[in-house]
């Protein structure tokens, strides 16, 4: 079955530590996205990528970094500079051309120890 996988489901970060969230898709989509979800604030865009080896900052990119070395993969690193990382992180993908639906993964919940 085609879809988006995110791992791990839960992730714990110690203070000063960088952690990486995985996102993989087998939908053959060109575009991929990372969102952060906090209670009562909807989804906010962190980074997005329309093509391999290219990505753009979203609305809340500070303290995060990404890479897009393969079409299928778009990992997100939460760096120690992100002072409030506790949130639910959602990865999505879509066909670039046109205004197609974004398909979402199951999410990763990041907690700070």
Q: Which residues bind another protein (CB under 8 A)?
A: 4, 6, 31, 40-45, 48, 50, 56, 58, 88, 90, 92, 94, 96, 98-107, 109
Nearer to another protein, 11 or 92 (CB): 92
Q: Which residues pair with 34 in a beta bridge?
A: 47, 91
Token pair, residue 21, equals 């969230």
Do 76 and 83 contact (CB within 8 A), yes or no? Answer: no
Nearer to another protein, 85 or 105 (CB): 105
Minimum Å distance from CB 53 to another protein? 16
Minimum Å distance from CB 51 to another protein? 11
Nearer to another protein, 16 or 40 (CB): 40
Nearer to another protein, 18 or 57 (CB): 57
CA distances from 10 to 29, 54, 87 (A): 25, 28, 11
- In the numeric block, the tokens 């990372």 are attached to 34
The sign one gets for the Cα dihedral 59, 64, 70, 73 is negative
């Amino acid at each position: 079955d085609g879809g988006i996988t995110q791992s791990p489901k839960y992730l714990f970060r110690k203070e000063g530590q960088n952690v990486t969230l995985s996102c993989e898709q087998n939908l053959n989509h060109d575009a991929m996205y990372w969102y952060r979800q906090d209670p009562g604030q909807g989804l906010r865009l962190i980074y997005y990528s329309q093509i391999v080896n290219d990505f753009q900052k979203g609305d809340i990119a500070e303290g995060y970094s990404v890479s897009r070395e393969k079409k299928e993969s778009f990992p997100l690193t939460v760096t120690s500079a992100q002072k409030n990382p506790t949130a639910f992180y959602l990865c999505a993908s879509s066909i670039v051309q046109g205004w197609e639906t974004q398909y979402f993964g199951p999410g990763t919940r990041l907690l700070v120890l």
